[in-house]
Amino acid sequence: MDLDFWWLLVIPVAFALGWVASRYDLKALLSESANLPRSYFRGLNFLLNEQPDKAIDAFIEVAKLDPETVELHFALGNLFRRRGETDRAIRVHQNLLSRPDLPVNERDHALYELGQDFLKAGLLDRAEETFRSLKSGDHALGAQRALLTIYGIEKDWNRSIDTARQLETMGAEPLGLEIAQFHCELAQEALQQKKPDEARRQLDLALKANPHNVRATILGGDVDAAAGAPQAALGQWRRVEEQNASYLPLVAEKVMKAYEALGRVEEGAQLLTQWVDQYPLNDLLDVAYKYVSELHGPEAAHTLARTQMQKSPNLAGMTRLLEAQQATAEEPRRSELQLMRTLLQQRTKNLPRYTCQNCGFRARLFYWQCPGCSGWETYAPRRVEPIPASS
């Protein structure tokens, strides 16, 4: 009985304590809400009603009335930057940095956002200076990534390499693919400046960073060809088939030039025919078709084009097949084929495109770095025929 009596006392006491605590929390919440400026609620209302311009004006008023609203300043700065109003974003983040009592982590955050403002505004030197000041803290890794972007825009490949290495030591994902491409860019510059030894050194570093880098192999052949060594160049370019056969169209014409320099054009044409048979790529067919036609005549070229179309039917291949049929046809069939080929060429001249697998950017030329998203090796070295939306 004593135990039951004490439980009867404990239950109402616990209930009373909970009621008091809830009243206290409610009172504190109401007090905090009462202290918030009316502009804050007007801003929220504008956001809910999809009126971002009016919401921004309301939040600016809040920031003026209550300068301690640090998170609101960050939100405003990001809004301005996304809207392209980088000058206003810069002022917001500079105002934050002018506060002497701003905590270290908030100061780093403000510096990082200010660097992003400068980068969006195209002020690369000021962005670089800002990001370089973030050597530690939560935003150090993001600052290094931004620096890598800046050096890529400036085509400062040596600094790009150093920054990528620094990112790896800070725990970022492996960047061997990008580092190899940076070395290839330096090799390309050395080749243009007629510095073959420096070009070879950079290509060795590229393959060390990424042994599967096809570009380094192709450039290695270019260096040998420029040095008057077609046999060595041929050996480099033929290695592309082992690395990644889809890149063969990039070296097909180079391979034939090397065979011509060696006086072995027939052997080169046979190799290209073999490649076309194994790898149904239109760009590869274009090169092989030209040399087979010159060496063996239109009938052999027609057979090559017809076989390719049977394996991989497409509009570009159809154009080539019509050309081959036209070369072997007699009048009036030849005129009819010419008309069909002309109409097909007009319809398809803008279709074949290299397409970035990352952002979908389409280009007439092949790029190792996408002009749209700046990604490396995102273009498949094969032109595709995009299907119109209406289809």
Which residue has tokens 């067919």?
285
The one-letter code for the residue type at 72 is: L
d(CA 290, CA 326): 15
Q: Is 356 annotated as a binding residue?
A: yes
Q: Which two tokens stand for residue 304?
A: 């090559």
Q: Is 359 annotated as a binding residue?
A: yes
CA nearest 103: which of 146, 140, 68? 68
Q: Is 184 annotated as a binding residue?
A: no
Whether the CB-CB separation of 216 and 332 falls below 8 Å is answered with no
Q: Name every residue whose Cβ is closer than 8 Å to that of residue 241 and which is 6 or more positions away in sequence.
A: 248, 275
d(CA 97, CA 109): 10
d(CA 243, CA 227): 24
Annotated binding site for Fe cation: 356, 359, 370, 373
Annotated binding site: 356, 359, 370, 373
